[in-house]
Amino acid sequence: MVYKKKAAVLSALVVVLALVYFLSFVLDPQRPSKDSFAWLNPASLTLVDAIEIDGSGGKTVLNRKNNIWVFPSAGNIDYPVKQGRVDDFLAQLTRRDVYPLRSASSEGAEKLGFAGGNAARITLKGGAGLPLLDLLIGSGAAVGNEVYLKRSDKNEIYSGEDHFTLYTDGKPSDWYDLRLFPVGPSSGIDVKTVQQAEIVLPANEGSDATQAPSYTLSRRGDGWVITGNESVSLDTPKVEAWLRSVLEAEGGDFATAAPASVEGSISLRLGDGTIRTIQAGPPGDDKSRLASVSGSGLTYALTEWTLNRIFRASDYFVKAAQ
């Protein structure tokens, strides 16, 4: 009797444990299901060499050249783009998520925003063959922050969290990397590497009639001096904060033509003897100026705010009297 009782208890325990295991498997939110998938297999990422995004913000085309993403423009000039933004975008397409099936009929496609060319489109290409992904984004779903999605060559329509209209509603310029200098560990330029800065002020830019139109800042020991006027004490943190603002400056947009003439410049001499120069042209109607940067082959439109930050008169750096 004792043996039979123990056997019954053990049998019941096995059943309970099996039931717990089964329920934990069924209810596990991480368990793959037919509703959980990624739009693009992560293994295909290395094949992607072109991205096309067509939405309310316009059409964006990005190409990968030498493993760097660029924005092709007129005149065979490739604009640099924010590599991190491209990485984030592709990560959304390769991330497994839950996409419940909502419809598989032409009537459903019309009701959910896919008729009449109204849907936004994301196309990933790899070579000259068929696209690796051709994804349509329809209207917003009724539940929370969701949208309807479908592959262009399929009838099935799914809904899912909206990770995509951030990109399809944006402007092509949202992808531009408008930094004048590619600052970073691999760029070879930062505040510490700058040994000298020669500034030629544009007319009416950061100066008045009493200010010298040009001057040179030179590193001396742990501080800075104005070459030819070394007796004037400069505020070192202010000089280096200004240098940082020059190195981190961004254009408001790219321009297709170089400045018609040069009215102001900033030349930075580095420790290795090389010189990086910003050359600004005459002001436009909105007081912005076109500017070119040595070695880049690009022309930027600098806003008035940026110009006022980087073109400083010499007295801006003078240490305040104690």
The domains located in the chain, with CATH, are 36-175 (no CATH), 191-317 (2.60.40)
- pTM of the full structure: 0.80
| pLDDT score at 183 | 63
What does DSSP assign to residue 306? H
Show the beta-strand stretches assigned E in the chain: 36-37, 50-55, 58-65, 68-72, 78-80, 97-98, 101-103, 120-125, 133-140, 146-151, 157-161, 194-200, 214-220, 223-226, 253-255, 264-270, 275-283, 289-293, 299-302
For residue 53, the cross-strand partners are 60, 122
- The span from the first CA to the last CA of the chain, in angstroms, equals 99
15 touches 86 (CB < 8 A): no
Query: Contact, 263 vs 203, CB < 8 A?
Result: yes
Please tell me the predicted confidence (pLDDT) of residue 210.
59
pLDDT tens for each residue of 19-33: 434 444 334 443 445
Q: Calculate the alpha carbon distances from 129 to 42, 47, 48, 132, 133 in Å.
A: 19, 11, 12, 9, 11
User: Do the Cβ atoms of 104 and 97 come closer than 8 Å?
Assistant: no
- Whether 289 and 307 have beta carbons less than 8 Å apart is answered as yes
Quick one: pLDDT at residue 17? Answer: 42
Task: Give dist(CA 108, CA 243) in Å, integer.
Answer: 58
Residues whose CB is less than 8 angstroms from the CB of residue 281 and which lie 6 or more positions away in sequence, other chains included: 258, 259, 260, 261, 262, 263, 289, 290, 291
Number of residues in the chain = 322
The per-residue pLDDT for 208 is 55
196/239 Cα distance (integer angstroms): 11
Q: Tell me: the pLDDT tens digits for 164-180?
A: 999 999 999 999 999 99
Q: How far apart are CA 165 and CA 16, in angstroms?
A: 47
d(CA 209, CA 15): 93
User: What is the rounded CA–CA span in Å between residue 47 and residue 51?
Assistant: 11
Task: Tally Cβ neighbours within 10 Å of residue 70.
Answer: 19
Give the pLDDT means over successive 10-residue stretches in the chain (322 positions): 52 46 40 76 96 94 96 87 97 96 85 86 93 93 84 93 94 95 72 96 65 90 94 96 96 92 96 95 93 92 96 94 72
